[in-house]
Chain A
């Protein structure tokens, strides 16, 4: 587990909600620069596992190490700071702040950090430019299409130069063509920038584009 190239390690992770065992003793390792997809039927526990591995949630049992730090057992604020430094998120439902403009949504993780407004704006603009959204800087999320929203969300996931990006059904709310475009962006991030990505999906077609596919079924990772 202390293998230098393993950026994310889970050991015997389990999560139960009351009586319901949702994740049942999962162990896995993801190497730096890998694009791994986690595929399985709806309700099999993918999102729960992702939230444990990314430090959003505590497991009932087991340990998780991210970038060499054990995140299981850390306090909520410690985890928040850790996510701010190391993790980027892309969600199925975009999760943008409706009152903030596109560039402000991208810069959201930077607000609590001591930094000039100009610097925040510069970094957000640069990323939106990469996402081909330079003309949408001041737009509110409501004025953006689904694909544009997700591209804003990707820019937000990258603004803190994360070690790993977690994507939970990133194309789930998009039509096929738009979804393909988003997948192309993720693949590009992986190939050109060497970004480590863990993507959760229930579509095996999408999963195939990854370096490695983990199959999940009924709370367990099969291979």
Chain B
């Protein structure tokens, strides 16, 4: 293989070289962007559950609560959301020893209707350091999380709307609290975002119930790949219980989010295969144009293997450059798409807000596509571009072998 010859050949036929490189780059860019965006979608959809550190969220809905929109402000005081009725201590005991469960935390979600309007309250189990709403400690903008009864954290916008600041007293029902922290809702907060956060025991007091009641249970699995099995097992053994995972969000969303990782892999491979097919066709066409050159090489004593090496050098250089350009372009496209905020719809059963409370927390309803660089995807893309080069070399070798050196004697 003669490197200068490869470079001269490619440079001399700039147009040809550019078409080949672009062809591979387009195929690889499609492959990378489809996969990166699809992964980002899965990632976006799983963000709400990740924010809680939970794989599954367990709750018991009121029987008639399939559509909660008929509810109106006629219901005064503090009450349980329709989809979050109390879980019995039987339920909790069962869950605690359910096979495959790594950790469990409970919380008590309350709705409060009064003259001041409507607000949501989350009773947080502070004993679990990383599961359930306590997980969103890192969203604190000011102050700290409640450490003892009588302390609350308010969502920042809600606090502002109510002219409440850090250290102010705060009243819920007939009880008085002090504000110890302000919290800023971040992306994907749908199933964690309420107006008020306080210790679980306080929430239980607000319900006028001394026993340890909860209406939301967060589960972390020992083996997240068994998510769907565990989900079904729980629902089968505990009638009336609903178990949600990020799939619930996936199901109510349309478009690209529905496309599974495997499907997007197949689609992108088909796109890439199409691109590679076209490139091989043009490369074979180029080769026919070069039959005289190949005849000369053979006539002056190059073996088939010598010519093949030369062609492979050209092809691999082009596919490597095409692959690198394609990976760069693919990520560029993906990151540009990442600037788009996608709407993430929260299915009613895990939505903490009543259906009529539209405006509250609307900011958290969109998620920017969390596109990220993947070593695996990059390596796969580069390997595929080289594979394309290998395929092209193979077919070119077969075509080249048929070119006879004697033919050049009769060319003028």
Contact = CB atoms under 8 A, between A and B. Distances in A.
B: contact size bracket: 20 to 34
Main secondary structure of the interface of B (DSSP, over half): helix
Given A95-B292, A97-B296, A100-B5, A80 B406 contact: no
A51 B298 CA distance: 13
Interface string B291-303: 0110111111111
Contacts of B13: 99
A80 B12 contact: no
B38 to A, nearest CB: 43
Contact of A112 (B296, B302, B409, B410): B302
B301 A80 contact: yes
A127 B4 CA distance: 21
Contacts, number: 82
Interface string B54-80: 000000000000000000000000000
A57 B300 contact: no
B412 interface: yes
Nearest to B293: A97
A47 B12 CA distance: 32
B291 to A, nearest CB: 12
A104 B305 contact: no
A177 B13 CA distance: 35
Given A77-B303, A104-B4, A108-B300, A51 B12 contact: no
B405 A111 contact: no
A: contact size bracket: 20 to 34
A114 B409 CA distance: 28
A84 B301 CA distance: 4
Interface stretch (A6-14, A86-94, A203-211): A86-94
A160 interface: yes
B153 to A, nearest CB: 73
30 contacts: A50-B409, A56-B299, A56-B405, A56-B409, A57-B404, A76-B298, A76-B303, A80-B405, A81-B301, A83-B300, A84-B300, A91-B408, A91-B409, A93-B411, A95-B299, A95-B408, A97-B293, A98-B12, A99-B13, A100-B8, A104-B4, A109-B300, A109-B301, A111-B5, A112-B301, A112-B306, A156-B300, A160-B301, A168-B409, A173-B412
Interface of B: 2, 4-5, 8-9, 12-13, 292-293, 295-306, 404-406, 408-412
Interface of A: 47, 50-51, 56-57, 76-77, 80-81, 83-85, 87, 89, 91-93, 95-100, 104, 108-109, 111-112, 156, 160, 168, 173
